[in-house]
Amino acid sequence: MVNGYKIRTDLALEARESVGEANGEMRGVEIEESYSEKAEVKMTKVIIHTKNAARDLGKPMGTYITLEAPAMLEADEDYHREISELMARELDDIIPNSEKEQAVLVVGLGNREVTADALGPNVVDNLFITRHVILEYGKAAYNRTKMNLVSSIVPGVMAATGMETAEIVKGVVEQTRPDVVIVIDALAARSTKRLNRTIQITNTGIHPGSGVGNHRNALTKESLGVPVIAIGVPTVVDAATIVSDALEKAPYSGEEPKVFAELNNMYVTSKDIDATIKRLSFMISEAINIALDGEFEEDKV
Amino acid sequence: MVNGYKIRTDLALEARESVGEANGEMRGVEIEESYSEKAEVKMTKVIIHTKNAARDLGKPMGTYITLEAPAMLEADEDYHREISELMARELDDIIPNSEKEQAVLVVGLGNREVTADALGPNVVDNLFITRHVILEYGKAAYNRTKMNLVSSIVPGVMAATGMETAEIVKGVVEQTRPDVVIVIDALAARSTKRLNRTIQITNTGIHPGSGVGNHRNALTKESLGVPVIAIGVPTVVDAATIVSDALEKAPYSGEEPKVFAELNNMYVTSKDIDATIKRLSFMISEAINIALDGEFEEDKV
Amino acid sequence: MVNGYKIRTDLALEARESVGEANGEMRGVEIEESYSEKAEVKMTKVIIHTKNAARDLGKPMGTYITLEAPAMLEADEDYHREISELMARELDDIIPNSEKEQAVLVVGLGNREVTADALGPNVVDNLFITRHVILEYGKAAYNRTKMNLVSSIVPGVMAATGMETAEIVKGVVEQTRPDVVIVIDALAARSTKRLNRTIQITNTGIHPGSGVGNHRNALTKESLGVPVIAIGVPTVVDAATIVSDALEKAPYSGEEPKVFAELNNMYVTSKDIDATIKRLSFMISEAINIALDGEFEEDKV
Amino acid sequence: MVNGYKIRTDLALEARESVGEANGEMRGVEIEESYSEKAEVKMTKVIIHTKNAARDLGKPMGTYITLEAPAMLEADEDYHREISELMARELDDIIPNSEKEQAVLVVGLGNREVTADALGPNVVDNLFITRHVILEYGKAAYNRTKMNLVSSIVPGVMAATGMETAEIVKGVVEQTRPDVVIVIDALAARSTKRLNRTIQITNTGIHPGSGVGNHRNALTKESLGVPVIAIGVPTVVDAATIVSDALEKAPYSGEEPKVFAELNNMYVTSKDIDATIKRLSFMISEAINIALDGEFEEDKV
């Protein structure tokens, strides 16, 4: 909280930084850090083990993997395949029973019409969808003996559908009975420094009230009945948060600035957000394609 | 059937023409024709009363209203509001209990990425969606005492989702419990002469195997549990059908042309299909907006 | 200037406010204000008469008409036709020789892929284009004896084309020789309070360095050889500007916050920017369609 | 000519087949055929050496390279990079002075809003554009001593711009002075058998009256003043042509079918045209990116 305004962040990493010393230990929270030279990615795994820690951080209990890759900000001839591969391994780890063949529903949240919010729909556009083919022709259609059934949905935003995202996803899950749901969403960060270069993977799903706040009801194991893995990239910062942060760094005495009211419903994003979203969404869809391809698991054995 | 190829048509009007004399009577089928001078629209209502007639026509029992408006082919300053109004009245007639406030789910079938198949998604883009506002703030948000709850979904095509359209719609219907479902789809006609200038409204829903054939399972009262009104405009003709028709008109002796195999999976559409779809979809969304606006019914009293 | 950061604004109205008393007089600057009850629009006309005033305001000599309409922020059944009509009259006034038939090239600046920057391309999508028809079939094709030749171009952004917008527009102007060019662009405002509710019309064209800064070279009478009318709506605010403003209102002592560096290349926009751009672009394209329709001028006689 | 209807084709290969024996020799026409095992591509080079041959074939004098790759019809994990590489080599051969650094303008013809006609705009979307960077920062920005200046334009269609494509391209060429122009366009084939699996590369540019017929004026060395390489893929067949062909194969006696009039302004395309265009355009943009990358030429030495 700064000046009465709640700090809005979808990143567990930022939540942790905001409550205590970034390098200190916190009861009930386990942290692992590693660095991949090849992919130039710093990986931080935050595991929230206790309810107390969850309350303190404002994040549900579970695992949060954060990949920070400054290279994601830049174009690359091969769209950073090495980051996709690293991400695929993390996905494979966090998806329950990923060693077995299973049915996976990928949900692309967000608004295709708003560039900074189009990450989810764009990721889904490049997925390798197999469910309908396998159900009709069998795995033989792909010359494979083992293959995941992959399906996807872009539910759209409430202003366009008149329905909660959770209503739509729940309906689809009940009809098609996937073993696991993967949800992709653009996130809100607390500061611009992690924008567009950080990927968060968590097994806690999507929770109401966090992030940009357009998706009201939860998409979690509790609400959907199956494990929910959420993949997010911060692409915007709340405008009010940026001003709060600036004011905090340059303390002032006296009244709270009226600028906050005007900033309500405004967000900050980067000028090249179109190229960024295109690059990020391709990278994530490739990571999911690699992770869900049955050969991936066998390769590891 | 011509030369062993089944005539593909989604229009009851064409089905009727293909089985008998266009002007003759057919047992179990009731036909009404009328003409609106103002809107320059010819309206034909085909009611299939018996199972025998349904079997002969290859169409389920029910009511099929066809509006033929050559003016739809041309641009108009006011997007043919008179046709939208006429269509709204027909919708109001065919929607059960339309005099009472109700919850309506509009489903935009088809593929946004294929111009001729984008009618459904485009219609949905211009609808006046109210459900989420009324559920949260009440009808007072619109200064109204009576108002329909309108929601919408664009389920996407099976190649993109890996799911049957019917699975998605059924899931959404079970979660959100609308009183009636309106489905919009681009249709296949038998000949080019009705392309882009004909609207069919029916209370029989959408059936597998008819039309372009990408939507496999039924969207009907039987499958969804609520009445299903389908609105369709023929925007394509099967390529094989066009050749069949040409050959039938110019009879030949001997072997069946090999051209048919090549034409499999091909369709015929008009060169200005982008402008046509834009115009048609706006016209239909306005018709739905007028029909579902509570004031419309009161005005009629 | 605040804290060493230049205030970025494309609005003459804001430029004037930032240099002096909003209600005071300024040498070489003429100001007229009026209010339309019907359209609920406040109109301010700023005419910069002298080079000194131009230098002080950081805006070229010429006429700047600003329409402020809070209603533009809200949806309307009829897309605010009354604002389009008022705007059409102002366009008609500022376009030289608009009483005579002429050739008009409309240029839609900006990036179709970035929602807040897509105003120009979207306006052009809804224009009534006549040049090719009149050149081929004559005005008789429209049953008219007098009709403007309207053409349009969406040049795209430099990152996509590798060319300056001005190079493309200049080339097209030299080949097709219009009598006047109308340029549409999304602007940057100084504060969020004018965002999406203000339209600026000017006869000074587009100048390098002002606004979001992606369009480097000028589109002016000097550079193109024909009068250039620019229509703009502020849809973004520079992120650094917003922080500057907040800090100015809450004065601090000491160092300049480091937040500015991070904010470089970031902008602030509203969460419902997709619906806003859709509404605004339709309103502006209708205004241009009305203004360029030959009948408009005759009606006035 | 069949039944008075001119056979419409943009492919030199088809033009040649339609005038004589496919395997026979034709005066003034040189033909080379080869097959790449690796890329599974059949390549045919047709060189029209004389005016007489040009007249007989209805194609201007010059070189026409046709790559036929059935694999293009299918999805591939790596988007058929081997075809892009083969195509890059052919482009490198046909572009004059490609061993020297030069400025290249790529023109994406067609209509982004019509799936089958969106090839040109989609190819341009994935090009590596360098001109603006090199002009501002030099080749050092890419850590290179030798690099082509690549720019691009999507002129749009006449119905949207009111201008001939040739007017726009000519204007841009005169302003930016490229050394060579590469034009990408969707073509019309004579039969469905070459649809979406054939790429034609020619040094004769684009000619009025051939192909789908929307681009009226020529884009050639004569009209633009610099060499023009055209890359095309047949994505549609004229509906009338398909019927003509069917009738020719199944000869009939008597009157010409009336169906032709109805088929005017109609075309045939495949049902999965969206996925096809996406795949083809990526393959072609990669081929151009490889061909225009300075390292390519050095590698060959």
Mean pLDDT calculated for residue range C126-138: 95
Q: State the nearest Cα–Cα gap between D159 and chain C, in angstroms.
A: 7
- In this prediction, residue B264 has a pLDDT band, given cuts at 50, 70 and 90, of confident
- Please tell me which residue of chain B has the smallest CA distance to D255: B250
Percentage of chain B with pLDDT > 90? Answer: 60
Beta-bridged to residue D2, according to DSSP, are D5
Identify all chain B residues contacting D258, using CB atoms and an 8 Å cutoff: 249
**Identity of residue A221:** K
Residue in chain D nearest C108 by alpha carbon = D161
Assess D164–C contact: CB distance below 8 Å, yes or no. yes
Q: pLDDT at position C238, please?
A: 85
Mean per-residue pLDDT over chain B, rounded: 85
pLDDT band at C204 (very low <50, low <70, confident <90, very high): very high
- Chain B CB within 8 Å of residue D193 CB: yes
The predicted structure's pLDDT at residue A3: 31
CA nearest neighbour of D281 among D121, D48, D113, D69: D121
The pTM score is: 0.90
Name the minimum distance, in Å, from the CA of D31 to any CA of chain B.
Answer: 27
- Cβ-proximal residues to B219 (8 Å cutoff; 6+ apart), any chain: B107, B165, B166, B169, B181, B183, B205, B206, B228, B230
Residue B249 touches chain D, beta carbons under 8 Å: yes
Can you name the residues that pair with D43 across neighbouring β-strands? D34, D67
D154 in reach of chain C (CB within 8 A): yes
Does residue A249 belong to the interface with chain C, where contact is any CB pair within 8 Å?
yes
Q: Which residues in chain D have Cβ-Cβ distances shorter than 8 Å to C155?
A: 153
The average pLDDT across B261-276 equals 86
Q: Is B192 on the interface with D (CB under 8 A)?
A: yes
Residue in chain A lying closest to B173 (CA)? A171
Q: What is the mean pLDDT of residues A181-210?
A: 88
- Judged by a CB distance cut-off of 8 A, whether residue B136 touches chain A is no
Amino acid at B192: T
List chain B residues with CB under 8 Å of D245.
259
**pLDDT above 70 for A84:** yes
Q: Which of D214, D246, D265 sits opposite B259 (nearest CB)?
A: D246
Q: Do D129 and C159 touch (CB under 8 A)?
A: yes
Confidence of residue C19 (pLDDT cuts 50, 70, 90): low
Q: Between the CA of residue D38 and those of C24, D79, D81, D83, D290, what are the distances in Å?
A: 78, 14, 11, 9, 18
Q: What is the pLDDT of residues A71-83, one digit of tens each?
A: 888 776 666 889 9
Label residue B258 by pLDDT band (50, 70, 90): low
What residue in C sits closest to D128 (Cα-Cα)?
C160
pLDDT band at C20 (very low <50, low <70, confident <90, very high): low
- Chain A positions in Cβ-Cβ contact with residue C267 (cut-off 8 Å): 268-271
pLDDT at A247 over 80: no
Task: Round the average pLDDT of chain D to a whole number and report it.
Answer: 85
Token pair of B206 as six digits: 């959408």
Band of the pLDDT at C265, cuts 50, 70, 90?
confident
pLDDT at residue C301 is higher than 70: no
pLDDT score of C212 more than 90: no
| Closest listed residue to residue A159, CA positions, set A208, A81, A207, A215 | A215
> Among the listed ranges A76-85, B4-13, B63-72, D128-137, which one has the minimum average pLDDT value?
B4-13
* Total beta-carbon pairs less than 8 A apart between chain C and chain D: 97
Average pLDDT for residues D98-103, to the nearest whole number? 93
B232: which 2 tokens? 């369709």
Chains adjacent to C (≥3 CB pairs closer than 8 angstroms): A, D
What is the arithmetic mean of pLDDT over C114-127? 96
How many cross-chain Cβ pairs, B to D, lie less than 8 Å apart? Answer: 111
Contact present, C197 and C272 (Cβ < 8 Å) = no
ipTM: 0.89
- The verdict on a CB contact (< 8 Å) between B129 and A161 is yes
Element (DSSP H or E) covering residue A125:
helix A119-125
Residue C58, pLDDT score:
85
Contacts of C211 (CB under 8 A, 6+ apart): C8, C10, C185, C187, C188, C232
Residues of C in contact with A234 (CB under 8 A): none
Q: Where are the beta strands (DSSP E) in A57-170?
A: 62-68, 103-108, 149-153
Q: Quick: pLDDT tens for D63-86.
A: 999 999 988 887 766 668 899 999
Asked if C273's CB is within 8 angstroms of A114's CB, the reply is yes
Using a pLDDT cut of 70, give the percent of chain A over it: 83
| D212: closest chain B residue by CA | B271
The chain C residue lying nearest A247, using CA atoms, is: C247
Chain C partners of D153 at a C-beta cutoff of 8 Å?
Answer: 155-156, 161, 163, 168
> What span, in angstroms and rounded, lies between the C-alpha atoms of B13 and A236?
53
What pLDDT, on a 0 to 100 scale, did the predictor assign at position A295? 61
Cβ A176–B167 below 8 Å, yes or no? yes
A260 C-beta neighbours (distance < 10 Å), count? 17
Split at pLDDT 50, 70, 90, the class of B213 is very low
Q: Report which of C274, C220, C283, C230 is spatially closest to residue C66, judged by C-alpha positions.
A: C230
> What tokens were used for B165?
């359209």
Distance CA B10, CA B33 (A): 19
| Structure-token pair, residue C45 | 């006309």
> Which single residue is written with the structure tokens 């764009």?
A122
On whether any CB of chain C is under 8 Å from the CB of A186, the answer is no
Query: What is the per-residue pLDDT across B288-301, written as a single tens digit (0 to 9) for each?
Result: 999 998 664 444 43
**C103: nearest CA partner in chain D:** D162
Whole-number pLDDT of residue A7: 42
Interface membership of C191 toward A (CB under 8 Å)? yes
Q: Under a CB-based contact definition with an 8 Å cutoff, are residues D231 and D211 in contact?
A: no
- The model's confidence at residue B190, banded by pLDDT at 50, 70 and 90, is confident
Residue B204 pLDDT grade (very low, low, confident, very high; cuts 50, 70, 90): very high
Confidence at residue D246, expressed as pLDDT on a 0 to 100 scale: 74
Q: Find, in chain B, the residue whose alpha carbon is nearest to that of D235.
A: B266
Alpha-helix residue ranges (DSSP H) falling in C126-258: 131-137, 158-161, 165-176, 221-224, 239-249
Percentage of chain D exceeding pLDDT 70: 83
Nearest to B175 among A125, A129, A167 (CB): A167
Separation CA B159–CA A152 (nearest Å):
10
Res B212 pLDDT > 50:
no
For residue C30, what are its two tokens? 């003429």
Is the pLDDT at B38 greater than 70, yes or no? yes
CA distance from start to end of chain A? 48
Per-residue pLDDT of D226-270, as tens digits, reads: 999 999 999 999 888 888 777 766 554 445 555 567 777 889 999
Tell me the residues of chain A between 213 and 232 that have a Cβ less than 8 Å away from chain B.
Answer: none
Contacts of C154 in chain D (CB under 8 A): 156
Q: C236 CA to chain A: closest CA distance, Å?
A: 9
CB-nearest partner of C163 from D124, D132, D154: D132
Residues C159-189 pLDDT 10s: 999 999 999 999 999 999 999 999 999 998 8
pLDDT at C296: 45
Least Cα separation, residue B10 to chain A (angstroms): 24
Chain D environment of C148 (Cβ under 8 Å): none
Task: Kindly state whether A31 is in contact with chain C, defined as any CB-CB distance less than 8 angstroms.
Answer: no
Find out whether B133 and B150 touch, Cβ atoms under 8 Å. no
Residue D75 touches partner B, C-beta closer than 8 Å: no
Q: What three-state secondary structure class fits B300? A: helix
* C272/A243 CB distance under 8 A: no
Optimal mutation site among B190, B259, B279, interface D, most CBs of chain D within 10 A? B259
Please state the rounded mean pLDDT for residues A258-281: 84
